Amino acid sequence: MQIYTNEFDVIGKRNPMLYGQFIEHFHRQIYGGIFDPTNALSDDDGFRIDVLDAMKAIHVPIIRWPGGCFVSSYHWIDGVGKERIPYFDKTWRVEESNEFGTDEFIKLCKKLGCEPYICTNAGTGTAEEMSDWVEYCNLSSEGKFSKLRIKNGYEKPYGVKFWSIGNENYGRHEIGAKSDKEWGRLVAEAAKMMKHVDPTLELTAAALTDLDWNINLLRNSGQFLNWISIHQYWDQIHETNCPADYQGVLAFTNHTEDAIKKVKGLLIAMGMENKIKIAFDEWNLKEWYHPNVHTIEQGITKEDYVYPRDSNDDNSLYTMGDAIFTACFLNALNRNCDIVGMANFAPVINTRGCIYTYQKGIVLRSTYYVFYLYTNYMGDLVRDAKYLDMNKLCVLNKGNKEEMVDEVDICVTEFSDKAGLAIALVNKSADNFSEVRFEFEAMGEVIGYFISGNSTSSYNDINHTEIEIQEECLGEFKKGMKIMLRPHSVEIIQIGCL
């Protein structure tokens, strides 16, 4: 395969928020995950130091919190101050201690040096409650809620810039689900009140690829919005925990841009593409496993609906297949950086996250190393790339139908602050090397950073490491240079970046 690109092919500058993360009050993501005050590995504020270090290493730019479905029955006022009263979370049907709330979330973001992104309760909550939350976070001293923050020991306002109105309020699974017409009006009123408190904040609202939903949303509240939010989990296994095999994962890589293209087309049709960007603020290959909750017939015992969630943390599930898909989706986000300005991998820790915690340490799953490659070695200016002689793979999708898939996924970048190119190459072939030839002008030393593993089912676990980043020097660049990509691998090729 030959790749062609030149300096005039720049699509745009990638927003660093494309590599954002997400945490929800679900299972061990927060309690026993990132926040574990009784653990010897935690700091004085209760945060796991090893987790913080791992997140810093992938330069997390923004974190979305507190949900997710959890937020649609969450009342933020109960999670601030000294008196934290536990309550029954009607979404996930467990007791929420309220020990981790707004102030703790802001502390986390400050420790990481990242932007906080707060998702508000548009299920059982009100427009006024949402705007009160903005007051608590962003006003200096006016009003009772900013005074409450000061009373709680936080003199300076938090200055939270990014806010989402609601989560997946279009879905029957969501507490406080709305019709398309109800949603457009609620978002308009909530946005109005929130921006009356702080006109500088940036707002997004829950959307999907449904035409009626989005038209009602944008017609009613588009003038207030900076973003439109979409979510996707390609392998929908929340009731079964039976993931797609490697061929099925490759078939999913054919559809990484489907939702982006549909929403972008609507924004263009409504003349809003220059005002509103896409926030792909919840995504992962695999749906979270939470059986007998988002169903009419609820599980009765905890053995039915709570304890099975432990199966999310079977590290053998997170293989090179997950890494391949994640890299392909990050490439898609980069290639669409003109319209997608934010994305949030869901979640960052435990469940389907890229980091797994246990009492004495952490495991970095295959997807963690994909984020490490992209945040440390890719450039921020995305180029268009042309290619010839792309091999095709015939795979069986999860519906047992044949699909033809490009063997290699490509994203070409350069840097706004230094010379050089960085090219992401994903070889999807399970068993074969793939030859790539660079038919463009460049100069300098060529270095490859890659992950592969011994097989497509390679994974990391406690005292079991099959996937880690490797580096190789490939010599001086010459036009027509050939690179052999290892089977089932994700590789960043840097040219002239030293």
Residues that are catalytic: 168, 282
Report how far residue 357's alpha carbon sits from residue 111's, in angstroms, rounded to the nearest whole number.
Answer: 19
Amino acid, res. 388? L
Report how far residue 59's alpha carbon sits from residue 22's, in angstroms, rounded to the nearest whole number.
Answer: 14
For residue 495, list its beta bridge partners.
421, 446
Report how far residue 249's alpha carbon sits from residue 486's, in angstroms, rounded to the nearest whole number.
Answer: 18
Classify 180 as helix, strand or coil. helix
**Angle in degrees, 0-180, between the axes of helices 366-377 and 320-335, rounded to the nearest 10:** 30
* Cβ neighbours for 326, distance < 8 A, ≥ 6 positions apart: 285, 345, 366, 367, 370, 371
The residue among 211, 282, 287 whose CA lies nearest residue 244 is: 287
Q: DSSP letter at 95?
A: E
Q: What are the distances in angstroms from CA 46 to CA 28, 102, 444?
A: 14, 14, 46
Length of the chain counted residue by residue = 498
* Cβ neighbours for 296, distance < 8 A, ≥ 6 positions apart: none
Q: What are the distances in angstroms from CA 31 to CA 87, 252, 289?
A: 15, 32, 18
Cβ atoms of residues 285 and 234 within 8 Å: yes
The token duo for 202 is 């940036």
For residue 387, list its beta bridge partners.
3
Report how far residue 112's alpha carbon sits from residue 29's, in angstroms, rounded to the nearest whole number.
Answer: 17
The residue among 213, 225, 118 whose CA lies nearest residue 169 is: 213
Report how far residue 12's alpha carbon sits from residue 317's, in angstroms, rounded to the nearest whole number.
Answer: 35
Whether omega before 347 lies within 30 degrees of 0, making that bond cis, reads yes
Query: Would you tell me how many other CB atoms lie within 10 Å of the CB of residue 160?
Result: 22
CB-based burial label for 39 (10 Å; 0-12, 13-18, 19+)? middle
Classify 321 as helix, strand or coil. helix
Q: Where are the beta strands (DSSP E) in 236-380?
A: 277-286, 340-345, 355-358, 361-364
Report how far residue 43's alpha carbon sits from residue 443's, in angstroms, rounded to the nearest whole number.
Answer: 46
